[in-house]
A and B are shown apart, each in its own frame.
Chain A
């Protein structure tokens, strides 16, 4: 039907949407990724057609290679499959659109015009498919649906394409059935694998979540027990204090009594009073995991760190917001507490959940003077004292972005401030 150069041409055309799709995924490309994709492109154009003369195998190998490449950049099988089928789909749709009679009437049916027209449509379809995909993926089974629909359409296109091709060449019905069978099995297998993989991933994240919830609740319980124990200890101390005071009164040693009061009674009562008062605010946190996280982190603070906790009104988040929120809160608190522990004289940790029409979590703490700028603290792997502080900030930022929260980080006048706006644009 077509002259031989068309086969090479078709393979070159494969590369273009494949780069467009890739470029539209990532705004920043690392050199490694660029070279890898170029290498992949060469394999697709030159090597695959050489080794696999049959166009069926050729297509399948290209498909596999693209999936592998996208898997490398996307780290997710389902995403890789969606991108790959987008690349193929845009090519098929483009070539079909370019062959519409409207266009052939407009343009002379020369090779070059057809080529240019196809290119334009490929770019167009790639962008459109990406938008549709991004919209679709928001739904619960969006990813699976995209894979299934994408692969089914791909299968249909490939079969009809090969029907036509073989019809012209041999008209052997048997071969057509075999090819159709191979295609069918291939895409069916791939779809099933992707669905299973997706399911496995979902299950493991769900398990992880539940484990985290369980751990948090267990921590809270342990802390409560600890507190009960401390109260018992305090009762015991209290008895002792009364007895000692009794002795001071008895001997009328008022100076010693005053000294004893200053040294032993006052500091103890100060600390107990302050900590409990601030932590009493936690009663406004209704979700147990968040409550236990805050309790676990804040009840274990050094004595030299003073704490101020403000919660404007009872907090109740949806589960969807709660899971990332807990992870981010953990990171922000760890950052603040670590910075405070590095201060020889301690400092103040201020935590606030403020509500206007959305929640804001504010974590503010004193920090050492002359810290490097925030962007350096954030760079992965930066550490003040061998700990992965930088990683934390980076993770928090990514988590917040994924969930449509806004995160602000500043260091000004020896105060380290982290503000998380929860709720996104709704």
Chain B
């Protein structure tokens, strides 16, 4: 694991570094922290080093060559799993760009040292927690929509539904629904829990609450319903 800090203001960089070092000593973690001044330094560094789980604290205003957002996009190309935290003034703040374009973990607004210290510590805690979670190897479903990739934990997936036009699939999860272009064929094999219950439905078996044999419907654990054909009831949910 590695932590990168990119801030061209020397005093501020020192301030952040102290907070990070203090946090690491307190939690008895030994993680290398690299201070880098310019975007070029970071980019050459990550090109030479093998990729590993890393956390980046990036200032948005990094001088004339490249701003923090452009740098973050470059970092993303090298390591899609890199965790990025932006340090930004109120004027530069663009929360949705951070979240949806860079998939940044968080952002810290420049303010008093105390507030910032708290925010930095929060980010570090989240980062180390995520690393632990990744180690437990929770399965994810991946939606590739053009340039973005969206990871959805398989245990949150209820079912996929096909619309009769185009090739839009709707993924229903515990939190809502996502639409994307795809086919059942591409998805079916991605988890042993996925079962095709109907021409237009692919269900995550682990989240089924009950099978309504009369109405030919499946009720999911949040109460939402989808279709199942008679033949598939016999195949997947035989009467005991």
Contacts and interface: CB of A to CB of B under 8 A. Distances in A.
A312 B145 contact: no
A277 B94 CA distance: 13
Contact of B179 (A310, A357, A407): A407
Interface stretch (A45-53, A150-158, A231-239, A408-416): A408-416
Interface in B186-240: 199-200, 222-224, 227
B101 A425 contact: no
A412 B97 contact: no
B233 to A, nearest CB: 18
A58 to B, nearest CB: 34
Nearest to A418: B176
Nearest to A364: B96
Contacts of B173: 410
A375 interface: yes
A360 interface: yes
Contacts, number: 84
Interface in A345-363: 350-352, 354, 356-358, 360, 362
Contacts of A407: 179
A122 to B, nearest CB: 21
Interface in A382-417: 400-401, 404, 406-412, 417
A358 B96 contact: no
B178 interface: yes
B145 A421 contact: yes
Interface residues of A, number: 35
B96 A352 contact: yes
A362 B96 CA distance: 8
A406 B180 contact: yes
B95 A350 contact: yes
Interface in B164-180: 164-168, 172-180
B224 A375 contact: yes
A408 B179 contact: yes
A308 B174 contact: no
Contacts of B167: 425
Given A350-B96, A356-B147, A360-B100, A412 B166 contact: no
A425 B179 contact: no
Contacts of A308: 93-96
B163 A401 contact: yes
A374 interface: yes
Contacts of A350: 95-96
Contacts of A28: 227
A374 B176 contact: yes
A408 B178 contact: yes
A3 interface: no
A373 B222 contact: yes
A310 B168 contact: no
Contacts of B145: 406, 421
A318 interface: no
B90 to A, nearest CB: 9
A234 B134 CA distance: 55
A312 B166 contact: no
Interface in B34-93: 91, 93
Nearest to A410: B176
A235 B230 CA distance: 74
Contacts of A362: 96, 100
Contact of B146 (A358, A404, A409, A412): A358
B96 A354 contact: yes
A375 B177 CA distance: 8
A351 B222 CA distance: 29
A255 to B, nearest CB: 25
A373 B94 CA distance: 28
Contacts of A401: 163, 165, 168
Contacts of B183: none
Nearest to A361: B96
Interface of A: 27-28, 277, 308, 310, 312, 350-352, 354, 356-358, 360, 362, 364, 373-376, 400-401, 404, 406-412, 417, 419, 421, 424-425
* 10 A-B pairs with least C-beta separation: A352-B96, A410-B176, A374-B176, A406-B179, A408-B178, A412-B175, A410-B175, A310-B94, A409-B176, A375-B224
9 contacts: A28-B227, A310-B96, A312-B97, A364-B96, A374-B177, A401-B168, A406-B180, A406-B181, A407-B179
Given A401-B165, A407-B179, A411-B175, 20 more contacts: A308-B94, A308-B95, A350-B96, A352-B97, A352-B100, A354-B97, A357-B147, A360-B100, A362-B96, A362-B100, A373-B176, A374-B175, A400-B179, A406-B181, A408-B178, A410-B173, A410-B175, A412-B175, A424-B166, A425-B167
